[in-house]
Amino acid sequence: MTKKVKVRFAPSPTGDLHVGNIRTALFDWAYARHTGGTFLFRIEDTDTTRVTDEYIQAAIDTLKWLGLNWDEGPEVGGDNGPYLQSQRLGIYAEWAQKFLDQKDAYHCYCSADELEAVREAQRAANVAPGYNGHCRDLTSDQIAAYKAEGRLPVVRMRMPDGGTTFNDLIRGDVSFDHKFVPDFVLVRGDGSPLYTLAVAVDDVLMKVTHVLRGEDLLSSTPRQIRVYQAMGLALEDYPVFAHLPFVMGQDNAKLSKRNGEVSIAWYRDKGFLPEAICNYLALLGWSPGDDHENVTMKELTELFTVEKVHSSPARFDMKKLEAINGDKIRALTIDEFLDWSLPFLTKAGVITGTADEIALVKLALPLIQERIIMLSEVPAMLKFLFVKNFAVEADSVAKITDDASKQVLQRSLKELEPLAAWNHDSIEAALRSSLIEEMGLKPRIAFGAVRIATTGSTISPPLFESMELLGKEASLARIRAGLEL
């Protein structure tokens, strides 16, 4: 009988979650949803010097914002909690003691200086650095002497001779010779657990069946398997591993918190839609086939399989993410576009949120929906409609103060003042007839000065529709002000 899939996303939030974290969470979530399994969310917060309550809450909020809802974990609960490792320290201590009692682990009294001296000697001898097993079989007298010195021992797992081979769903069979996997620390001298102990114990106790995680953790797998063995887990009950390929930056280095703008909070602030981020991250190492790149969250749950994840590194391409985000923005209904845009407009101080302002924003949004790639562009595009003390942007003033621009603005004012109907069709007809046909100007020259005078910038929504929304009185007043410049 096939076991029901249960995957876990278990970040150690020492800052905002970044691209690598979220791609792992996305693949875990998609695999759980595709198989009808369980998506477990766990926080690895035993490093109290770096993990804060603020970062933990930010991780929770980020998953919610992305739509990666979990079935078991913080705020949701479940039968295998608590889901913060800092609340499970007693569990790890019990297992560490059990390993000591079983002789699977032992106390190591080596000091940091002694360990460094061993590593230096190994490097000098061109030997792979690692623990030399000095404390594996101490006598009672040696232990008593170390205790008399006041040394606080760590707990080390005893690695057997031979090697570890396991099947990775992405990489096939992977083998490690234990000559290169020395006895490793489970518990620090102060009693706090290390990652390898906590993660393995939790995965077993929380009944995780599949571990999808980054390739950087591949080398820790034989250590986790050793913990499973010491826990008495049957081979068929070991979690199945799938190590995801690295995400590389444009500099060919592994993408990390220190390599570019990779914080999801940064993308959120810039105005990337969560579905666009998920769509793009899904393509980093996975493909649905048939050159199909515009993937919805529903399609992702239907199409995602671990077998289609590549083993080769993926390259992060900001331009492609921007293109996908632009496509997702264009696919929004106007009401959806409005909901996403309003927070950016209010945060930028463009609007206060009155009903009249929102109504005007809704009329203006169709003018820019095809023109932007990020929601953070909305305030700059629409602020001309709401600014109370209007002024032409400093870098645009010179473009409407020459003689040619003056003639354009004078003629525009003359043609627009008599208009009885103020709509984009009548505005366009009047300006094209006078500026293009009669004055013989090219559209860029003819309409550029009017655009700057009425919107304050060389970049704006379509000119005639913008002037319609701005209104006749305000449009003419701004053209007159432009002439005064």
pLDDT tens for the chain, residues 1 to 485:
568 999 999 999 988 898 989 999 999 999 999 999 999 999 999 888 889 999 999 999 999 999 999 999 999 999 999 999 999 999 999 999 999 999 999 999 999 999 999 999 999 999 888 999 999 999 999 999 999 999 999 999 999 999 999 999 999 999 999 999 999 999 999 999 999 999 999 999 999 999 999 999 999 999 999 999 999 999 999 999 999 999 988 777 777 655 555 789 999 999 999 999 999 999 999 988 777 889 999 999 999 999 999 999 999 999 999 999 999 999 999 999 999 999 999 999 999 999 999 999 999 999 999 999 999 999 999 999 999 899 999 998 988 988 999 999 999 999 999 999 999 999 999 999 999 999 999 988 889 999 999 999 998 999 999 999 999 999 999 999 999 98
Look at residue 262 in the predicted model and tell me its pLDDT: 72
Look at residue 291 in the predicted model and tell me its pLDDT: 78
Look at residue 256 in the predicted model and tell me its pLDDT: 63
Q: Is 254 a known active-site residue? A: no
Fold of 332-385: Helicase, Ruva Protein; domain 3 (1.10.8)
As annotated, the residues of the chain forming the CATH 1.10.10.350 domain(s) are: 394-484
Look at residue 223 in the predicted model and tell me its pLDDT: 98
As annotated, the residues of the chain forming the CATH 3.40.50.620 domain(s) are: 6-75+247-315, 88-244
Please tell me the distance from the alpha carbon of residue 320 to that of residue 280, in angstroms, as a whole number. Answer: 8
The neighbouring-strand residues paired with 464 are: none
| Catalytic member of 98, 207, 254, 257 | 257
Is residue 328 marked as binding?
Answer: no
Q: What are phi and psi of 15, to 5 degrees?
A: 175, -170
* pTM listed for this prediction: 0.92
Strand order in the sheet with 38-41: 38-41, 6-9, 210-214, 240-244, 163-168, 172-177
Please tell me the distance from the alpha carbon of residue 471 to that of residue 463, in angstroms, as a whole number. Answer: 12
Is residue 257 marked as binding?
Answer: yes
Look at residue 258 in the predicted model and tell me its pLDDT: 56
Please tell me the distance from the alpha carbon of residue 151 to that of residue 244, in angstroms, as a whole number. Answer: 40
| Class of the domain covering 6-75+247-315 | alpha beta
Fold of 394-484: Arc Repressor Mutant, subunit A (1.10.10)
The CATH code of domain 88-244 reads 3.40.50.620
As annotated, the residues of the chain forming the CATH 1.10.8 domain(s) are: 332-385
Is residue 110 marked as binding?
Answer: yes
Other Cβ atoms less than 10 A from the Cβ of 32: the count is 26
Cα torsion 241, 245, 247, 250 to 10°: value is 170
Instruction: Say if residues 203 and 239 touch (Cβ distance below 8 Å).
Output: yes
